[in-house]
Amino acid sequence: MAVRLKPIEQQTIVVTGATSGNGLATVEEAVARGATVVLAARNLDALEEVAVRLRSRGARVAVCAADVSDPADVERIADTAIEQFGGFDSWVNNAAAATYGTMEQVTLADHRRIFDVNYFGVLQGSLAAARHLRAKGGAIVNLGSVLSDRAMILQGAYSASKAAVQAATDALRMELEQEGAPISVTLIKPAAIHTPYPEHARNYMDAPPRLPPPLYDPRLVADAILFACEHPRRQLYVGGGGYAISLAGKVAPRLTDLAMQAFGVEAQQSPGDPGVLNRRDNLHEPKPDGTVDGAQEANVRKTSFLLQAQKLALPTPGDVVRAGLNAVADLAEAVDAARYRGRR
């Protein structure tokens, strides 16, 4: 069955991690375009504050206080959408958790927490969405990262979980396509985005954390997410700076390792800028929330030409590189075959 996605203004969209950063940016842009939205996050007070603000603008929204690591909570999110609005058309798995620290510094309990939220939360949300959308069609949009492709030093647990999200998203897409389900499955891969991510992360380093430049506006991620709610796409990168790291990791992995070892630690530490203190470390418990943008002082990029090119279905630099490498491999294989035939 062909995938047909509704215009945003006709959709009901579920967004997890909806009270800050990329999630909140997506919610705000979705309601501005006329969508109905179900907001899910752990912090009920922040959810209610956001909902009041949006309803004052005439938006149709519902809230569900939920921790996506709990399967019962994920089912409650789906039930809220069904009870309040008769169902949903797109489900955005955005909620995430993070740590800064070496693989040895981060406790096993915190490693597990990262995977409970970032991997199992996405998996449970995807499966709940697939069950609902199988008959009517719609979109599942999962938030990966450029770190799905290339691990970042001092963010090992987060990188590992996002690599797992990429694999699970690809597997689910294939299975739904095989059975003919009218569901689009998209993976969004943001670069470093100017959100409260560094403050929300649990920090094992000696200095406050920060995101390495260049940083991009969270509203670009919202644009990518909502585009995927309307247009079937396999994946969308947000931010050419992060994509360059992803590409470098594929083309020159050892050089990328060495570059991260030389510059990665300093690039992720901010000795003079602790950020907003009461937001720090929401790994196991929610903290004050309700802002799209992070506190880190940075020159934030408001555009992503790479994203726009992908929306037009133009080839990315990686597509060009892969095509070149495939051509070289094909040529080498042809030469080897010719040599083999010559020896016979």
Report d(CA 144, CA 96) in Å as an integer: 10
Tokens of 335: 């030469």
Please report how many Cα atoms fall inside a 13 Å half-sphere around the Cα of residue 148, on the Cβ side: 25
Q: Is residue 183 classed as helix, strand or coil in its secondary structure?
A: strand
Tokens of 285: 């418990």
**Burial profile 35-57: b = 16 or more Cβ within 10 angstroms, e = fewer:** bbbbbbbbbeebbeebbeebeee
Choosing from 158, 197, 216, 243, which is the catalytic residue?
158
Report d(CA 73, CA 124) in Å as an integer: 10
Strands 138-143 and 202-203: unpaired
237 an active-site residue?
no
Tokens 């991997």 correspond to what residue?
119
Catalytic residue ranges = 158
